[in-house]
Structure 1
């Protein structure tokens, strides 16, 4: 079996954790493959670019893909439907016997496929043999927008060799945010909640990059207890999670967020926004709390309440987080993906 993984999300120096879950899957699948099977990967690294830079970046990627059109693969596995479906569709035209698998991660179907273009993408989607949405909410969208049947609902998996609870580690931060500093990740809501709280004794760690970095630095100048970390490796993120009491992510749009599950694998409960994707993950009061979307006032109250809870209550939350989603380890997920590949070839 010859496998090609295709993705427009992959880590780079500028964004060390962007698309890291695709890289993790590639490495794990490579590890578990029998000696007679092979896996290659075609990827675009995540970088900060202008609009023109983004266009040129994709033109370059399309040109770089040309040699792959002349190689034979049994399985082509695309991560993120849009925009590289064009490349995979073309590959399928040239190699009609190959099986195409697509993992839908979130914005590639929630935002990029809409009323104005869905008929166009429905035609391209006919090249797809097997769909893997990472969550239930996304599965409904894939079915509705692209008229595709759902193969498996399968999150990307958490590497439990990297993310785990460290024993006897000191808690240095009350709350931690990991992700891009953008409206989509809801960092503006978190910043507003911190300002409303106006408590310098509550400590926050922000890991990521983006346009809201200046506002975080303004909070630092105003003597709020803010730490900013950038370009952290996954082991470094594990250490920071273990040093934190609670994880915050107030996203407006997600697939099946991996950062929240990584947090839980470290025994860190979470606060999230009230969107369907988080409702698939959070058991209120057991492994975390859900706050109305964009509601900085309610978030500030939740932060204050959790900051003041007793040690015994926090321990229950931590244990609840630790016992969540054990089945979603990277190893388990990749075994399922490899079995999907084998079943597709058997049915050919």
Structure 2
């Protein structure tokens, strides 16, 4: 089983990779790419035209087929249940559904050493923890060379957490992948999945309440709130910077920082709109007051002037901010 994870810049990386895979490729391929919930994905058609392997949208309850590319649909985690595709509306992870980590973890639980995980171009760090789970279960990790990736965030984060010799440009990666899937899987006994890995896989499937398993007296609140639901986040799994809220939304520290940054920016734009509207209203009231020779006209004029000055200061600050690479393309 091969699981591929990508985000910003990932379409071209996926096209280059599947282009070099032969028609007799002996493993099932699962592809996860960040998509907006209401999007219509053309990725199966794009990948089907890029190479000789057929590409289809993943379908709940359908068995995985070797030599077929199964693409996660929008707003569903692509999981594996005894060789069968399982589409879940479980909690988002770092704001994403489908999430790369969810599929990587599920593959690690389902197939252990028979899994090859591949992290391609993307912003932030989705896939890094899941790739580590694949290696812990005896599988193989592969990563696109960050220097080649259009967005190196995901490859760099994966390599920061998991050491692997399989770091290549995409076309080389595809050729090495074809060799690896034809290598016999080691027969040495692999330890069962850890309770933490099983718990996270369960949460991705059905949103198990986290406080039923990680009570506050064992794992105190982190002091951070979940950007998805506003609930309290706790640090889980003994991993630095990995959080979940009580209903299961997962966040890495990096993704959480980005979410708060966007929330702060939205608040500033809302404040700017309010100042502009207040200034316009004050001017209208000023005109009406002067038209009636009312004494309040000067007060409204001062209000409008103060609002305009504050709005211009805020507008200059917002327009001077450089958006971080990939922010608009990571969903």
Interval containing the TM-score (normalised by the shorter chain)? 0.3 to 0.5
User: Higher Cα Rg: structure 1 or 2?
Assistant: 2
